[in-house]
Amino acid sequence: MSSPSVEATRAAGPAPPATEALPFRDPELPLAERIDDLLSRLTLAEKIGQMVHENSAIERLGLPAYNWWNEACHGVGRNGRATVFPQVIGLAATWNRALLLRVAGAIADEARVKHHAAVAAGRRGQYQGLTFWTPNVNIFRDPRWGRGQETFGEDPCLTGELGAVFVRGLQGDDARYLKVAACAKHFAVHSGPETERHTFDARPTPKDLAETYLPAFEKLVAARVEAVMGAYNRVLGEPACASRLLLVDILRGRWRFQGHVVSDCGAIDDIHRHHRITASAAESAARAVRMGCDLNCGCTFNDLVVAVCDGLIRESEIDVPVRRLLATKFRLGLFDPPEQVPYAALSPAIVDSDAHRTLARQAAAESIVLLKNAPGVLPLRADPACLLVVGPQAANIGALLGNYSGVSPQLVTFLEGIVERIDPNTQLEYRASCPAAQPGAPGVNYTFGAAMSSDVVIAFLGLDPTLEGEEGDAVSSLSGGDRDRIELPEVQRTFLLELRRHARTLILVLTGGSAIAVPEAHEICDAVLHAWYPGCEGGRALADVLFGGVSPSGKLPVTVPRRTADLPTFNDYRMRGRTYRFAEIEPLYPFGFGLSYTTFVYGALIASADVLTPGQELIVRTILANKGRRDGQDVVQCYLVPPQTHPDAPRATLVDFKKIPVAAGASVAVEFRLPGDAFRQVDATGRFVWTPGRCAVVVGSASPGARAVALGAPVPATCEIRLA
């Protein structure tokens, strides 16, 4: 083994001797004393330098440079080799808390290894630190939003539960040190349109703010998330990154948040340039700091020097955010000897390791949602005589990745996964067949002749990151990353209709990070699956499902409408008419829906009480039976149907869920313990209130409604409760 270079030794070694004895360097001192000592040694300019995302080194104190900007949406992002897990919306489709905890832990392990390797090489730039701006817990209220793929879906309960688990996995369980620092974003009312994000004013009702947009963030604060990121837009007239309501009254006041707040990138500039709330950069910086924003992704906080000189803010007010930021650095162990930090010695061999890829494959397989399966179609035999794979997404690595991804030396496309899985004597043909979005050239398409001679045709259609994503990333989107229409791109729809005329058995696999309205496809295809953006092992995971190695267990984290026309206006942040909780139009596929290769049956629902008083816990029990011949997993979902006498009551609300494996022919007892708070409603002023009346508790495999049962979901178990 070769010895490290002089440069690497300097980068990784201890601080210069002149600073080793300073109190802030002593790991045995209480954290508050260390922060006080270091803060007292910083000049005003140095303090302000700590408040922009790119920190310069302070050589006289032995402090290295540090860049706060990192991404870990579904793996270490934008920093070379890493395990690419399914995009967040796919992770949400697993509905599996334990699995997401393992995924987040693996991501943080790789992040640690890559950080320490970068430091040893003398690199401390963007995407190489330990502060990750993950997870995104905005509510995916409208399927047109291009960044909805980064979220855990449309429901506050599912989003909050999975987001909190992700935070715990990322930050680790050491009593003293964070593995990495997680960040809940974008606080708090932010979900498009992308083209208007720097200018619009989101105006939810007080009821919607309290009932829909805030709960997930509150759960992550309770999980001790280290950071919260503000949004670009205004919320009820105030810039989100300088909002008294959001940052002072709610986040630090009501919820007692102890971490730091970071702006979205460039959002402080938006305060004066686009929102016109202030007249200058110095005023914007001073206002943001006074309202509780500690870190500027950008450089506007450099104007705090001007703000102090002009009397807009005092140095003592600047000390407050600097103290919070230093606390995060200390908790990450950035100023301590590596041997004292338990995560500093992780092996570089874990990056994109076999174990992590196996985990990615499991997560991808559990994320796949089976939406339709005609009798005898799936699973497929591994040795069909002739198989045709078609579509623009079949061999497209973009359809594996989604946005904010890392890269892998082995990205297994859907085509490769299928080829690897089938009998070597099976005749297989692949054709791209049609473009993803732009109209195809007129003329002969040889795909249709090949389809006529094939036993099975598998078509890979849908979206990729060029069609949906963030402003500036989705280069084929005509709406800044969003979609104007949620139907399949017309060229793909036309191709599928013609393909049906020639295919004996037609299986449709949809890709993408959002709901795709395919009512015609549901009618004409023999089987339909949604594979999301499944990550580096996506091809193998899909083959596991197609050929029966894994029984599908994914459930939709979003509602799939029948058509774009069923949606309210995109930039209207009221929840009326949105998601399974408030939409009145029957969807194509309901929230929580997903089929299996086996047959589940729910027994009667037994409740611990028929009448509930405020604060009283309710216990409900049922039996989940697997009546089929295959082992499987079902996501048992518990919903409350509140008294419909309450004004603007949701049609149903998810209150808990469990993913439960059940062997073929076996039964499992399932219990939910619902706290009294679960039965409260939100009134027009945003207050939680107790509404007497009749309500129902529904436990099943999808959100309540006849549509799920009509599509093949088991009949749910229901009981009525009176709220006294």
- Which pLDDT belongs to residue 443? 84
Task: Choose between 2 and 19: higher pLDDT.
Answer: 19
Residues of the chain with CATH 2.60.40.10: 600-723
C-beta of residue 380 within 8 angstroms of C-beta of residue 456: yes
pLDDT of residue 18: 65
Write the pLDDT tens digit of every residue in 53-65: 999 999 999 999 9
What is the DSSP secondary-structure string of 402-454?
Answer: -SS--B-S----HHHHHHHHS-TTSEEEEE--S-SSSPPPSS--THHHHHHT-
- Mean pLDDT throughout 216-224? 98
Do the Cβ atoms of 575 and 399 come closer than 8 Å?
no
pLDDT value at residue 386: 97
Give the active site residues. 264, 468
Q: What is the pLDDT of residues 494-520, one digit of tens each?
A: 999 999 999 999 999 999 999 999 999
pLDDT at 6 over 50: no
**Shortest CA distance to 368 belongs to which of 544, 605, 204, 127?**
544
pLDDT of 107 strictly over 50 = yes
**pLDDT in the model for residue 7:** 35
pLDDT at 441: 75
Q: How confident is the model at residue 2 (pLDDT cuts 50, 70, 90)?
A: very low
pLDDT confidence of residue 10: 34
Highest CATH level, class, for 600-723: mainly beta
Say how far apart CA 561 and CA 551 lie, in whole Å: 26
Sign of CA dihedral 324, 325, 328, 329: negative
**DSSP-derived secondary structure letter, 68:** -
**Residue 302 predicted with pLDDT over 60:** yes
Q: pLDDT-derived band of residue 442, with 50, 70 and 90 as boundaries? A: confident
Tokens 């909190």 appear where? 164
Please list the residue range(s) of the chain that carry CATH number 3.40.50.1700. 361-582
**Model confidence pLDDT, tens digit, residues 619-669:** 999 999 999 999 999 999 999 999 999 999 999 999 999 999 999 999 999
**Structural contact between residues 336 and 24, judged by C-beta atoms closer than 8 angstroms:** no
**Which pair of structure tokens corresponds to residue 4?**
């490290």
Among 6-10, 159-163, 564-568, 582-586, the range scoring the smallest mean pLDDT is 6-10
How many Å apart are CA 414 and CA 368, to the nearest integer?
13
| 361-582 homologous superfamily | Glycoside hydrolase family 3 C-terminal domain (3.40.50.1700)
Domain 31-63+182-202+215-331 has CATH 3.40.50.880: no
pLDDT averaged over the chain? Answer: 96
157 has a pLDDT exceeding 90: yes
Separation in Å, CA 655 to CA 577, 616, 640, 681, 699:
20, 15, 7, 12, 10
In this structure, is the dihedral angle defined by the CA atoms of residues 495, 500, 501 and 504, taken in order, positive or negative?
positive
Check pLDDT > 70 for residue 14.
no
pLDDT at 4 over 90: no
The answer, yes or no, to whether residue 449 has pLDDT greater than 70, is yes
pLDDT of 9 reads 34
At 5 the pLDDT is: 36
Q: Which two tokens stand for residue 572?
A: 């209207």
Chain centroid, CA 173 distance in Å: 21
CA distances for 608 relative to 208, 617, 623, 673, 675, angstroms = 31, 9, 15, 10, 12
Tokens 């994914």, located at residue: 554
pLDDT > 90 fraction of the chain, expressed in percent and rounded:
96
**% pLDDT > 70, the chain:** 98
Question: Helix %, strand %, coil % for the chain, to 5?
Answer: 35, 20, 50
What span, in angstroms and rounded, lies between the C-alpha atoms of 701 and 602? Answer: 9
Tokens representing 411?
A: 């990205």
What's the rounded Cα separation, in Å, for the pair 361 and 544?
Answer: 9
Q: Which two tokens stand for residue 500?
A: 């049906």
- Helices and strands in the chain: count of H runs, count of E runs: 22, 25
**pLDDT number for residue 19:** 78
1 pLDDT higher than 60? no
